[in-house]
């Protein structure tokens, strides 16, 4: 079946602009995660959605970052007033809420802030 998809695959923007990154999880997966992977670094957790529960936003680095998930499916990560340090690969993953607990990752969006 279809995996997790993300768009755009690459995004170049100017400092100060807003960007929106989209994630389409695997159908039927109730959990959705956003991570950030900077060059040569590990994964930094950003935010987690589980069903209709309030999202876990504990990883968002500043109030410039926000995310929403509409209808329990598609999610959008928004970065306002981008800074150069926001340049990274943004990864989305989804997971069933039961079962093997593993996460299925999308290919990521590579963001470059000039």
Q: Which residues bind other proteins (CB under 8 A)?
A: 31, 33, 35, 41-43, 45, 48, 50, 56, 58-59, 91, 93, 95, 97, 100-108
Any idea what DSSP says for residue 62? S
* Cβ atoms of residues 113 and 46 within 8 Å: no
* CB 81, min distance to other proteins, A: 27
- Of residues 16 and 45, the one with the C-beta less far from other proteins: 45
Question: Token pair for residue 71?
Answer: 């209808």
The whole-angstrom separation of Cα 33 and Cα 70 is: 14
- Of residues 25 and 108, the one with the C-beta less far from other proteins: 108
- Of residues 74 and 105, the one with the C-beta less far from other proteins: 105
* CB 40, min distance to other proteins, A: 9
The strands making up 65-69's β-sheet, listed across from edge to edge, are: 5-7, 19-24, 75-79, 65-69
Question: Token pair for residue 4?
Answer: 């997790």
* CB 87, min distance to other proteins, A: 18
- Of residues 35 and 79, the one with the C-beta less far from other proteins: 35
Among 75, 106, 72, residue whose Cα is nearest residue 89: 106
* CB 6, min distance to other proteins, A: 9
């Amino acid at each position: 079946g279809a995996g997790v998809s993300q768009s755009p695959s690459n995004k170049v923007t100017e400092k100060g602009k807003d960007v929106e990154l989209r994630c389409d999880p695997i159908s039927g997966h109730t959990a959705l995660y956003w991570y950030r992977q900077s060059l040569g670094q590990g994964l930094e957790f950003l935010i987690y959605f589980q069903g209709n529960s309030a999202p876990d936003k504990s990883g968002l680095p500043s109030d410039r970052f926000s995310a929403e998930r509409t209808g329990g499916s598609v999610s959008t990560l928004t970065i306002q007033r981008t800074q150069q340090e926001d340049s990274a690969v943004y990864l989305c993953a989804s997971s069933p809420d039961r079962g093997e607990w593993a996460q299925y990752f999308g290919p990521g969006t590579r963001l470059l802030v000039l």
